[in-house]
Each structure stands twice: as structure tokens, then as C-alpha cells.
Chain A
Amino acid sequence: MFSFLKKKVRQEKRREYQPPSPVPGENERLVASLSDNMIKIRGLCGNSSDLTDRRIAVGGVEMAVLISEGMVSLATFSEIMAEPLMNSGLGPDSTPQEVLQFTRTLSLLGMDQKEFYTYAELFTFLDSGFAVLLIEGEALGVACGMQGFSFRSISEPSSEVNVRGSREGFVEPMRINMTMIRRRIKSPALRFEIMSCGVRSKTDICLVYMSDTVSGSLLDKVRGRLRSAKLDVVLESGYLEPFLEEGPLSLFPGVGTTERPDTLVAKICEGRVAVLVDGTPFALITPYLFNENFQSIDDYTHRPYYATFIRFLKYAAFFLTILLPGAYVALATFDPELFPNALLFNIATSEESTPFPLMFEALIIHFIYELMREAGLRLPRPIGHAVSIVGALVIGDAAVTAGLIGAPMVMVVAVTAISSFVIPTLYQSITVLRFAFILIGGTLGVFGITLGLTAMLCNLCAKRPMGIPETAPASPFSAYPMRDIFTRVSWRTLGQQQLQVQDLPGSEVDDSRQ
């Protein structure tokens, strides 16, 4: 039986990723005949309804203009392409080469003007909002960027709200995001490297880094990993996250995300590499250390003493949210003598009337809380407020009145939930760990919680995102970088020397520059 299972597993592992076959003829080169090109194009796209073409004559030479309906700004098209072409001044006996020369050097049909030679490239440009020109007698095409598709306007990021600072967040088009970054760093050292990812989707992704700060080996590693990502489609930055992480099954993230251009700029100035993905406002940042989950842009705009206080609050909130339910269950079940007398009597009185053991009470109530939280996320906004009413009634009142759970447990859930909202980036880890610690505390007591906590912290200490210890600079310890970890010193000190990730203790990243 074991040999049969082993054989099955080996067979499954041999099924490697098979990229989708290209459409027949997609990679062929364009021909000189305009009619043949048009027939081929219509054939390749199955005469798709959104492909619009128009034949015109410029200087006596027939041309075709192709656009994808809705992708191109018609006003821009009229102003910078149609009008110059109609008023080209070319004679009626012009040759295709003269017309091509006109588009290349004697006109400015668009700042983003490229030439291409294959049908695959033609479709890539069409689907990216370019207007494409094909000239009779020339086996190439000219693509001019005049994107005019609709997109969400720049607004405050929904996942990273701040009190003071910019209200701009990334949007779906990658190039708009690039401009937001460029406006914040007016330095030639800021570099954008555009790549394509996704065999079918050919999604544009962009590496963003500071060439005078980033480590060459780190950049090469990121590039290599992204190139090795074999995916059919890339619709969100989360598709690429596992390829940038060392241990994708780990509880804690080794790659960060941000919706804020100011946060991204701050990170790349410390030698990190950011990845923008077209179609999503969430950018990736690597390497991402554990202490960054407790940092926010507000920390750097508030006064140092308050920012330090908030940092301590966040660290306390993290341990509170993962350990409080489990510790409460463990102590109340196995070591009630550790509670102060008054509290012990209250807990005993409330638990006297509840039918379930404390561990099951905790599991049930946290499960209901997670259900409501998830429902609140997915519900349409008009009826979303119903979730809060149901939550307050069900958990806050009915469950306690009916004697299903004790009032202390409601308090524990409330404190736990509020604490988890303080560190939204760690919510996935926190949710799983919370349930794990409830189970461990309910079965093994404080001893089990200690074992679980030790295993969790060792797992965290073992991670090395891009060769940098996840727990640096707390462990391995270095005093200088600690200025911005548990405390946040004044900008007069922070601004004296820029700290880079490759300088952190235990870092395997060399300091070679691009």
C-alpha cells in the first residue's frame, strides 16, 4: 500500500506546469500586404466585436488604424494622430517608405511610439490601449500610446488609513502609480524596470528601486524569482507573493504590501525593492521584516513620545490578541488559583451557569465573530450595517442572556477583536494563531501555551526574507537600528544616517550597488 501511495505521489509531482499553447499564427511576422494583415488579424481574434479598424489614405498610401474599443481616448486620438496624418503634407505619389519616415521623424503621433513586427506584439499593444497603424507595403506596425480607458480615481487607500499625511493611494493602472512615486522622489537614482508576467495575461509588472541604495544581489534575486514565476494569469500582486518568499507556508509574511505611495517610497529608500502590478493597487515590498508590521506612516509624523507609545501599544496588542483567549482558557481551566480572588469569583459565577466547557465556549464565540467579520466584508454596503446589529444582539446580549456563554468571555472576545484591528497586516496570522492557542490552552494549559509560543517564536526567528533575519535588529541585536523599532527617535537623529536593510545584523545581502 505504501509503495502504491509513493508511486501516486511521484506521478503527481511529475506534472509540471505546462504553459498554454499560443494561438496558431500568433507569433508570425507581419506581411507587407495590408489586406493580408487585416485578414490575419481578424482571424486571430475571431472577429472580436471590440476591435475597430479604419482604412485611410495618407499621401496616396493606404493605411489602417486599429484600436480596441473603449481603450483609447478618442479626443487624444483625434488631436495627436488623426489630424497630423490628415494634414501630413505628403504628395499623392508618396511611397510607403516616405509615409513610414513621416510617422517616425516628421511627426509626433505620441510620446509613447513603438514599432513592432509580429501579430503577438500587435495584440499586446491593442490590449494595452495603444492605437496601431499598419501601412500598405511595410511589414511592420507603429503603435502609439493614447490610453483612455476608465479607471478608479485616486482616493484614500482603504486598507491603510492615516491621521496625518497624504490621502493618495495607488490605483489599478500601473503607470499612474509610477507617476505618484516619481513625484515623490525627484532623483535620477529612482529606477523603474517593467517586465511582463503571466503567459496568457501578459500583465505588466514594474520593479521599483533606488539604484544608489539597493543591493545588486538583492535586485538580481528579485528579478530571477519573478522571471521564474510560471503563471497563466496574474490578476493581483498576491499571485506573485509566494515566488518572492523563502517559505511560503510560514505563518508570517516575508513580503509586505502597501497601497500608499509614501510608504513605498520610504521603503525603497532603505534599500528594499518594490513590485507594482498592473491591475491592482497593492504593491509588494521585499524584504519585509516582522517589526515593519508595527510601523505606519503616522509614526513618522507624530511626536516621538507619542509614536513610541503607539509602538508599544501595537506590540502589546499583538500578544494580547493571540494569547489572551488561550491564556484565559488555560488559567481558568487548569490554574484558577492564579487569578485574584475577586476576579475568580466573578468568573466562577458566570461559568457556573454556562453549559459548555470554557474551551468550547471560546471556540464557538470566536468562530461566530469570524463569520460575522467575513460576512461584513462580503455584504453589499447598503445592508452591511445589519451585520453590526446582528453582532451586537447575538454576541453581546442574546448569547449571554440565554446563558450560552459567560460575560467574561464576551469581554475577552471584545478585547481580542479590537487588538487585532490595531495590526491589520498580521490579521491572517493572528486569526490562525488565536484558534491554535485556544485549543492548546484548553488541552494543555499554561505549559502548552508556552510550548506553542516557543514554537511560534522559533518559526519566526528561522525566517530569512531575501537573506535578512526576520527578527532583525531585535535578534540578532544591534543597538543602532533599534532607534526605529520599539521606539521612534526624533527626526533629528533619524535623519542623520539612512539605515539600509543590507546593513542589518545577520544580513547575507552584500552591499554591491547597481
Chain B
Amino acid sequence: MPQITVSQFFIMLFLCRSFSFFTIVPGLRESASGSAGLASLVLFVVFSVLIMLPSFLILRRQKGVGLIEFAYQRSQGAGFACATLFALLALSVAIDNVVHFAVFITSAVYPNDSNVIFVVLFTLVALYMVYLGLESTARFSGLALILLLGSLVMIVLSLAREFDTVGLISPFLGGVRPVVQGGAVTVNESSELMLVLLFIPYLKGNVKKGFLWWVLGVFALLEGMIFVTLCTVGQYAVTQSYPLYAVAKMARLFYFQRMDAVHMVIWTMIGLIKSALYLFIAQRCLCFLFGAKRKNTILLALGGITILCSLLLAHYFTAYQALYNFTLTGIPLYVAVLLVPVLLILIPGRRRKEDKA
């Protein structure tokens, strides 16, 4: 695994996390909407830290070793299972990302165009980024972050005259349940948490500090954008399929009447970074199984599977909804982040007892 700095890694994760906020797909989320979303993000911070604590404590003892290498040290079977699991999870997130992208662009931006060209080209560029290596994607993420923050500042400044806090209502108006549920769903969407476990030993710098900055950064970004959305379009945002895109369409700056092109450019770049990162993880996990010499063949195969599955899921939207709702339950995330590290620690404990016997 290539070495990258903690800041580069968490910038990539920050961008990955912001992507799902840009492309909220209608009818798929039962999360808190409107003002309740503002409060649920506080719970997101708390839940994220609580979920990662056990894994941090476990892996703190295994310095210089990643989760999959740790599994191989326990047993070959455990390593095989771990690599397969994470490869499948990473591939599924990459496919989900591409489907998100395709559905958004063909419903909101180019409604008369077919999915195929977008899916194919998007995946090809993501594959090229994986081919160039993780370090180049990490460096590009730094540039993309500046573009993201710059574009958000532009959009916010251009909407400043439209601000009206009358759209803000009490987050607990619907009770506590929507807030708690929203916090949980926001965490369940954060597949980036499993990446932290895979990358910990390969990061140069203080990982815990970086993780906290990431959580707080995501909180600040989502909180700020929800606030801006509510203050500009109010509760009408709840009825919009893509509220941030709607806000960008309203934004006007100097002579530019709309800022949705800026939104689309930034969101495409971020989507590519997310897809490239997860495809890289999938490739890396499969290299554990099939050997590093076949990495280009593995990459091509992953690309083909991604394109095929994305096209099928974009076409059979009900199936995609079912899969996505399964992801939102959090089961895949908790298996990867909690269950697997705990099981790996238990295995040697059982072996030592067997050896003594």
C-alpha cells in the first residue's frame, strides 16, 4: 500500500463523504430532513467516534500492519475471507457511487440523455486514476478540496441576499426519533470509516487527530450546507430531489445567472475521486488473493463489473433501492468496522488456549 500523509488521506475521505450530500437520491433515505437534519449531524459526530473506538484500540497493538495483513497473520483463511469481504464492500460502494452519479445527471442535468455514455466514461476515467496510483489521486484531492471550498463560498455569497431564517424550525418538532434516526443513517452512509481501518498503518502522521478533524470537517460542511439550503429555500428543500443542486441553480454572482455548472464540475470531480479510491481498495484486496502481478488485469475486470452492474442497477431502480436500503441499515459497515476486528482478535486467544491444552 503506498504511503500518503494523514492530511491527504482525510481530505480524500472528506471529499468522498461530501459526495453523497451532493447527490441525495429521492426516495432512498429515511433520514431526517429539514431542521431535524441540523441536530442529527451532532449525533453523527458522536456515533462515528464511538463506532471507531474499539477498532482503534484493537489496531493500536498492531503497529505497522493493516487489517488484512493482520488477518493473514492470524490464518490464511481469515486473510482470504477478510480480503474478499473488503473487496466486495469496496466494489459495491464504487458501483453505488457510479449509479448515484448516473441517476443524478440523467434526471436533473441531462434528462434526455442515456445512462450508458455517462457510466462508461465516468468509470473509464476512474480506472485511469487508479492506474496512475493512489498518490496522484491523493494529491489531486488537495486541489479538488480548494475548488470545492471555493465553489461553496461562491454559491453561499451569491445567495447571501436570499437568506431568511424563517425557514428554520425547531429540529425536535417531529420528536427525538427523526433526529436519532437521522444521525444513525448519516453514520451508516459513511463507508469511509472502513477505509480508516485499512489505511491506518500506511499513513504518515497522527491518525487520531486526522480522524477527529475529518469528523468535525464533515459535520461543519453538512451543517453549513443544510443551514444555507434551509435559509434560502426553506422547508421547500425537503420536497426537492436534489436540494443543493436547486440552490446552485438559484445562485447568481455578478453576470452569471446560474451556478449549477460549477456545482456539476465539482461534484463530478469528487465523484471520480470517490470511485477511484474504492476501486483502488478493491484492486488492492484482490491483489492479496490473486497476486500483485495481475493488478492491471484485476483493474480491467473491476472496471467491467462496475460498468455492467451500474447500468443494470440504474435500469432496475427497484433492485438498487433494495440494495441501498440494505446499506443504510448499517450492517455492512458494522461488520467491517466492528465485527471483523473483534473476530480477528479472538482467533489467537482461542488458539493459545488450544495450544495450552
Residue numbers of A with Cβ under 8 A of B are 331, 335, 337-338, 340-341, 444-451, 453-455, 457-459, 461-462, 469, 471, 474-477, 505-506
Give the Cβ gap from A296 to chain B, nearest Cβ, in Å: 23
Closest residue to A447 on the B side, CB-wise? Answer: B268
- Please determine whether A444 and B139 come into contact, CB atoms closer than 8 angstroms: no
Pick the contact of B261: A338, A471, A476 (CB < 8 A): A338
- Please determine whether B268 and A474 come into contact, CB atoms closer than 8 angstroms: no
Query: A335-B261, A471-B143 are known contacts; what are 10 more A-B pairs with Cβ within 8 Å?
Result: A444-B121, A447-B110, A448-B121, A450-B268, A450-B269, A457-B140, A458-B137, A461-B132, A461-B136, A462-B135
Pick the contact of A462: B132, B268, B269 (CB < 8 A): B132
In the complex, whether B255 has a CB less than 8 A from a CB of chain A is yes
- Please determine whether A451 and B140 come into contact, CB atoms closer than 8 angstroms: no
Give the Cβ gap from B319 to chain A, nearest Cβ, in Å: 26
B interface size (C-beta, 8 A): 34
Pick the contact of A474: B135, B142, B269 (CB < 8 A): B142
Across the interface, which residues of B come within 8 angstroms of A477, CB to CB? 7, 142
- Please determine whether B139 and A454 come into contact, CB atoms closer than 8 angstroms: no
In the complex, whether B335 has a CB less than 8 A from a CB of chain A is no
Across the interface, which residues of B come within 8 angstroms of A449, CB to CB? 265
Segment of B13-21, B122-130, B290-298 engaged in the interface with chain A: B122-130
Interface contacts (Cβ under 8 Å), in number, total 88
Across the interface, which residues of A come within 8 angstroms of B139, CB to CB? 461, 469, 471, 475-476, 506
In the complex, whether B257 has a CB less than 8 A from a CB of chain A is yes
Across the interface, which residues of A come within 8 angstroms of B141, CB to CB? 475
- Please determine whether A451 and B125 come into contact, CB atoms closer than 8 angstroms: yes
In the complex, whether B233 has a CB less than 8 A from a CB of chain A is no
| A476 and B132 in contact, given A447-B105, A450-B264 (Cβ under 8 angstroms) | no
- The answer for the CA separation of A126 and B22 in the assembled complex, in Å, is 73
3 closest Cβ pairs, A-B complex = A462-B136, A475-B142, A461-B139
Give the Cβ gap from A444 to chain B, nearest Cβ, in Å: 7
Closest residue to A335 on the B side, CB-wise? Answer: B261
- The answer for the CA separation of A335 and B118 in the assembled complex, in Å, is 17
- The answer for the CA separation of A433 and B140 in the assembled complex, in Å, is 18
- Please determine whether B121 and A454 come into contact, CB atoms closer than 8 angstroms: no
- Please determine whether A340 and B137 come into contact, CB atoms closer than 8 angstroms: no
Across the interface, which residues of A come within 8 angstroms of B109, CB to CB? 447
| A458 and B136 in contact, given A450-B269, A451-B268 (Cβ under 8 angstroms) | yes
Across the interface, which residues of B come within 8 angstroms of A337, CB to CB? 258
In the complex, whether B256 has a CB less than 8 A from a CB of chain A is yes
Closest residue to A472 on the B side, CB-wise? Answer: B139
Give the Cβ gap from B207 to chain A, nearest Cβ, in Å: 17
| A457 and B143 in contact, given A338-B258, A450-B268 (Cβ under 8 angstroms) | yes
- The answer for the CA separation of A448 and B268 in the assembled complex, in Å, is 10
Across the interface, which residues of B come within 8 angstroms of A505, CB to CB? 5
Give the Cβ gap from A359 to chain B, nearest Cβ, in Å: 17
Closest residue to B137 on the A side, CB-wise? Answer: A458
In the complex, whether B8 has a CB less than 8 A from a CB of chain A is yes
Across the interface, which residues of B come within 8 angstroms of A451, CB to CB? 121-122, 125, 268, 272
Binary per-residue interface labels of chain B (249-282) against chain A in the complex, 1 for a CB within 8 Å, 0 otherwise = 0000001111011001100110010000000000
- The answer for the CA separation of A469 and B135 in the assembled complex, in Å, is 10
In the complex, whether B304 has a CB less than 8 A from a CB of chain A is no
Across the interface, which residues of B come within 8 angstroms of A448, CB to CB? 121
In the complex, whether B348 has a CB less than 8 A from a CB of chain A is no
- Please determine whether B125 and A454 come into contact, CB atoms closer than 8 angstroms: yes
Give the Cβ gap from B14 to chain A, nearest Cβ, in Å: 14
Give the Cβ gap from A459 to chain B, nearest Cβ, in Å: 7
Across the interface, which residues of A come within 8 angstroms of B111, CB to CB? none
Across the interface, which residues of A come within 8 angstroms of B174, CB to CB? none
In the complex, whether B133 has a CB less than 8 A from a CB of chain A is yes
Interface residues of B in 29-77 (CB under 8 A from A): none
27 A-B residue pairs with Cβ-Cβ distance under 8 Å, sorted by A, are A338-B257, A340-B255, A340-B257, A444-B117, A445-B110, A446-B261, A446-B265, A447-B268, A448-B121, A449-B265, A450-B264, A450-B269, A453-B269, A454-B129, A454-B269, A454-B272, A455-B125, A457-B143, A458-B132, A459-B136, A461-B143, A462-B136, A471-B139, A474-B143, A475-B140, A475-B141, A476-B139
- The answer for the CA separation of A460 and B132 in the assembled complex, in Å, is 10
Give the Cβ gap from B253 to chain A, nearest Cβ, in Å: 11
- Please determine whether A447 and B118 come into contact, CB atoms closer than 8 angstroms: yes
Interface residues of B in 127-157 (CB under 8 A from A): 128-129, 132-133, 135-137, 139-143
- The answer for the CA separation of A474 and B144 in the assembled complex, in Å, is 12
Across the interface, which residues of A come within 8 angstroms of B133, CB to CB? 462
- The answer for the CA separation of A338 and B265 in the assembled complex, in Å, is 14
- The answer for the CA separation of A447 and B258 in the assembled complex, in Å, is 16
Across the interface, which residues of B come within 8 angstroms of A458, CB to CB? 128-129, 132, 136-137, 140
- Please determine whether A476 and B8 come into contact, CB atoms closer than 8 angstroms: yes
Give the Cβ gap from A509 to chain B, nearest Cβ, in Å: 16
- Please determine whether B272 and A476 come into contact, CB atoms closer than 8 angstroms: no
- The answer for the CA separation of A449 and B121 in the assembled complex, in Å, is 12
Across the interface, which residues of B come within 8 angstroms of A445, CB to CB? 110
- Please determine whether B142 and A446 come into contact, CB atoms closer than 8 angstroms: no
Across the interface, which residues of A come within 8 angstroms of B272, CB to CB? 451, 454
- Please determine whether A446 and B264 come into contact, CB atoms closer than 8 angstroms: yes
Across the interface, which residues of A come within 8 angstroms of B258, CB to CB? 337-338
- The answer for the CA separation of A173 and B274 in the assembled complex, in Å, is 53
- Please determine whether A475 and B257 come into contact, CB atoms closer than 8 angstroms: no
